[in-house]
Amino acid sequence: MKGQIVRSPAGERIVLDDVGGRVLLDNPAVRVWDVSLHPGETHPWHLHHNPYVVLSICGSEGRMDWLDGSEPRFLHEYRGGAVYRPLSPVHRLTNIGDRFYQNRLVELKDLGENLPSPVDVGPGDRSVEGQPPGPRTADGRVPVILHPHVAVWTVDGSRELDLADRPHVLASLERDGEVAYHPGGPVKTGAGEWFVVELAYPAQ
């Protein structure tokens, strides 16, 4: 949370930033952020209070550093990929590639801040480029992640989707594209490519 103060192992005072750069959507169930980094740019130290899904719009190489001094994690995120993450220690993210990086970060409030204590979601999940975890759906969605808590698909073109009777987040893969919340059931997407995120967990 922006403004929260923590201490590094050396005793340095660290003022935390938000988990993203700009809020695109905020309601009782989810908060969706834009995270954008030019090559060499770093998103400052921050701490997640909700499990979250990362939807990659523009991929690049990344480095995640931990305030506690743990070994850094090196990431390769690609356009159309997704990651489902649990809460983790204070960290920061640097774009170490040579391409612009952008994602839509979807915080899942019903697994975090809406509860007395966050749900332990285990290790989460991560998509693998070129290896969808299941078949295409009848309405044209290609699976990216199929986890008991969240399912993520991509779909292209203007389509009539037959979504489950659960809340969903729809996010365009365009850099300045639309993000919307849908309660479930039939919906029509606009032109272009879209992420479709099903919130498969029951309300806590």
For the entire predicted model, the pTM comes to 0.95
- The dihedral region occupied by 116, where left means phi > 0, alpha psi between -120 and 50, and beta the remainder, is alpha
pLDDT digits (tens, 9 = 90+) for 75-115: 999 999 999 999 989 999 999 999 999 999 999 999 999 99
Query: Looking up tokens 């967990």, which residue turns up?
Result: 201
pLDDT tens for each residue of 125-149: 999 999 999 999 999 999 999 999 9
Domain edges within the chain: 5-126, 142-199
Question: What is the percentage of the chain residues whose pLDDT exceeds 90?
Answer: 90
Instruction: Give 156's pLDDT tier (boundaries 50, 70, 90).
Output: very high
CA atoms within 13 A on the CB side of 59: 12
Whose CA is closest to 204, among 111, 106, 124, 107? 111
What band does 9 get if pLDDT is binned at 50, 70 and 90? confident
CATH code of domain 5-126: 2.60.120.10
Taking only Cα atoms into account, the Rg of the chain, rounded to an integer number of angstroms, comes to 17
CA distances from 185 to 102, 160, 168, 173 (A): 29, 10, 9, 22
The residue with tokens 């809460």 is 87
- Within 13 Å of residue 76, how many CA atoms lie on the same side as its CB? 2
Q: Please name the residue ranges forming H helices in the chain.
A: none
| Cβ-contact 196, 168 below 8 angstroms | yes
Give the pair of three-digit tokens for residue 197.
């995120």
Residues 113-130: pLDDT tens digits? 999 999 999 999 999 999
Q: How does the average pLDDT of the chain come out, rounded?
A: 95
3-state secondary structure of 105: strand
Q: What angle do CA 119, 120, 121 make, to 5 degrees?
A: 100
How far apart are the two ends of the chain, measured CA to CA in Å?
Answer: 22
pLDDT of residue 53: 98
Inter-CA distances, 10 with 1, 13, 14, 67, 70, Å: 22, 9, 11, 10, 14
Confidence of residue 1 (pLDDT cuts 50, 70, 90): low
